[in-house]
Amino acid sequence: MRNKVYNSNTKPGDTMIKEKIQNALNLQLNQELYAFYLYLSMSSYFDSLNLSGFSNWMRFQAEEEKNHGLKFYDYILQSRGKVDLKQIEAPKKTWKSAREVFEDTYNHEKKVTESIYDIVDLAIAERDHATHNFLQWFVSEQVEEEATALKILEKIKFIGDNQGALFILDREVGTRSNA
Ligand code: FEO
């Protein structure tokens, strides 16, 4: 009886997550690492314009994405799944303006939200309550990520071609220090 409860038949290499879920988590891990690349690329773009505040903001954003990727990495391992580190797509390298960068940022975050929702739907369909629970942190995080990107985008739209105001905003966003 006891053996049945504790499943003593578990062998090294057995997983606690279904393959479908594992594949979706590995794809999301790759997406988060791509976001790390994308925001790092944006950081270097801003640095080339001497907008060091925006550059700093993007650097922190990139760090956050790396940490998001590691959360997926850790969860897959914790669930005795297999981590599959896929090739990371090269990000865009240049933009026309700060406005275009934040339009891309906001759109990227909306895409990430959709893909998190897709995995949540899959977890529900597969009755994987543990993965569903794990993903709830990301559901909340995406609300914050979208809101923050949109707020900066709206400020950039508001100041338009006013370079002086852009430098003031650069100083304001450059105070970000959480990673
Ligand atoms: Fe990892 Fe910005 O979402």
For the Cβ of 68 lying below 6 angstroms from any atom of ligand 1, the answer is yes
pLDDT digit string, tens, across residues 86-120: 999 999 999 999 999 999 999 999 999 999 999 99
Specify the ligand 1 atom closest to the Cα of 68: 1
Q: Are 170 and 53 in contact (CB under 8 A)?
A: yes
CA–centroid distance, residue 147 to ligand 1 (Å): 12
Evaluate if residue 10 carries a pLDDT over 90.
no
Determine whether 33 is exposed, middle or buried from the number of CB atoms within 10 Å of its CB (0-12, 13-18, 19+). buried
The amino acid at residue 111 is K
Domain boundaries, the chain: 19-82+93-173
CA–centroid distance, residue 64 to ligand 1 (Å): 7
- What's the confidence (pLDDT) of residue 25? 98
Q: At the top level of CATH, which class does the domain 19-82+93-173 belong to?
A: mainly alpha
For the Cβ of 65 lying below 6 angstroms from any atom of ligand 1, the answer is yes
